[in-house]
Amino acid sequence: MASSDLTVLVVDDDFRVANLHAGIVDSIAGFAVAGTANTLAAARDILAAGPVDLALVDVYLPDGSGVDFVRELRCDAMVLTASTDSGTVRAALAAGALAFLVKPFPHTELAARLAAYARYRRILSAPQVDNARVDAAIQALRPATHTSTAPTVASPTKDLVLHSILEAGTPLSAAEVATAIGISRATAQRYLATLVATGTLRMSLRYGSTGRPEQEYSATSRPAKSER
């Protein structure tokens, strides 16, 4: 983890969902997972161990309300929940949540929200702000929904990464992609994260007998053509 990375706490009562969201966080440059928790007690222990920039919080937790937890936080927060109750949305926003995502949502949606949060933090990194900067920061939290028509730069390495996934027929980890095409794991991870963010690939978790699950990548059901 780089010292400049934004640290994220993931709180969800389902450990598989928590790990999945943590995997998305880990796949985005500039972010690092501070920890995952399945209860409020565990989340508070992680917060006590060191500072956190952003918390991704479920509403329904075994030992209390995620909305109440957001209210007590000293860091930024987003609420990720299956609740569709409008009162819960209002309560979460009143508690200080910067965003509210209803599960299930595509990986690209969370990735877009995290990218938006990074822009928000960059805009508000200045010691002093004016109205224009405040408005820009608030607007940055709303990821664009339109498709950019700007030309893209050809990337042979990205094409190789995508091709390795398509040819494999089974999900591959970043290390396996790196070995297959002869690049570093970090480089493979960077291109894989880009392909996940654009919806070309999907990221899932590979569970072993011990240790943290490994991220693996596969093509979406209708993979997009690589950009040129």
In a domain, 53, yes or no: yes
Q: Are residues 14 and 71 in the same domain?
A: yes
Q: Are residues 17 and 113 in the same domain?
A: yes
For tokens 């009162």, the residue is 87
Query: What's the pLDDT tens digit per position in 7-42?
Result: 999 999 999 899 989 988 988 889 999 999 999 999
Residue 152 pLDDT: 46
Report CA-CA distances (Å) from 10 to 7, 53, 106, 127.
10, 11, 17, 28
Lowest mean pLDDT segment, chosen from 65-79, 86-100, 131-145, 194-208: 194-208
Mean pLDDT score, 210-214 = 69
Whole-number average pLDDT of the chain: 86
Q: What pLDDT band is residue 144 in, cutting at 50, 70 and 90?
A: low
Q: Are residues 107 and 212 in the same domain?
A: no
In a domain, 188, yes or no: yes
Q: Are residues 88 and 28 in the same domain?
A: yes
Domain of 93, in residue numbers: 6-140
Tell me: cis bond preceding 223? Omega within 30 of 0 counts: no
Count other C-beta atoms under 10 Å from residue 52's C-beta: 21
Which conformational region is residue 147 in: left (phi greater than 0), alpha (psi within -120 to 50 degrees), or beta?
beta
CATH code of residue 73: 3.40.50.2300
Show which of 140, 165, 180 is a domain's final residue: 140
What is the DSSP track for 186-210?
HHHHHHHHHHHHTTSEEEEEE--SS
Residue 7 pLDDT: 96
Mean pLDDT score, 179-207 = 83
Residue 212 burial by CB count (10 A; 0-12/13-18/19+): exposed, middle or buried? middle
Q: Are residues 205 and 101 in the same domain?
A: no
Q: Which amino acid is at 163?
A: H
Query: What's the pLDDT tens digit per position in 78-128?
Result: 999 999 999 999 999 999 999 999 988 888 889 889 999 999 999 999 889
- Tokens at 226, concatenated: 């690589």
Count other C-beta atoms under 10 Å from residue 95's C-beta: 19
CATH code of residue 170: 1.10.10.10
pTM more than 0.85: no
Residue 20, classed as helix, strand or coil, is helix
Higher pLDDT, 98 or 203: 98
Tell me: cis bond preceding 104? Omega within 30 of 0 counts: yes
Residue 104 pLDDT: 87
Residue 74 burial by CB count (10 A; 0-12/13-18/19+): exposed, middle or buried? exposed
Q: Are residues 173 and 122 in the same domain?
A: no
221: pLDDT strictly greater than 70: no
Q: Are residues 49 and 87 in the same domain?
A: yes
Q: Are residues 123 and 21 in the same domain?
A: yes
Q: Are residues 43 and 115 in the same domain?
A: yes
Q: What pLDDT band is residue 192 in, cutting at 50, 70 and 90?
A: confident
Query: What's the pLDDT tens digit per position in 49-82?
Result: 999 999 999 999 999 999 999 999 999 999 999 9
In a domain, 227, yes or no: no
The alpha carbon of 14 is separated from its chain's Cα centroid by a whole number of angstroms, namely 17
Count of domains for the chain: 2
Residues 75/54, Cβ–Cβ less than 8 Å: yes
Query: What's the pLDDT tens digit per position in 155-171?
Result: 788 888 888 988 888 89
In a domain, 132, yes or no: yes
- Distance between CA 97 and CA 15 in Å, rounded? 22
- Distance between CA 112 and CA 198 in Å, rounded? 9
Residue 212 pLDDT: 67
- Tokens at 101, concatenated: 């995502």
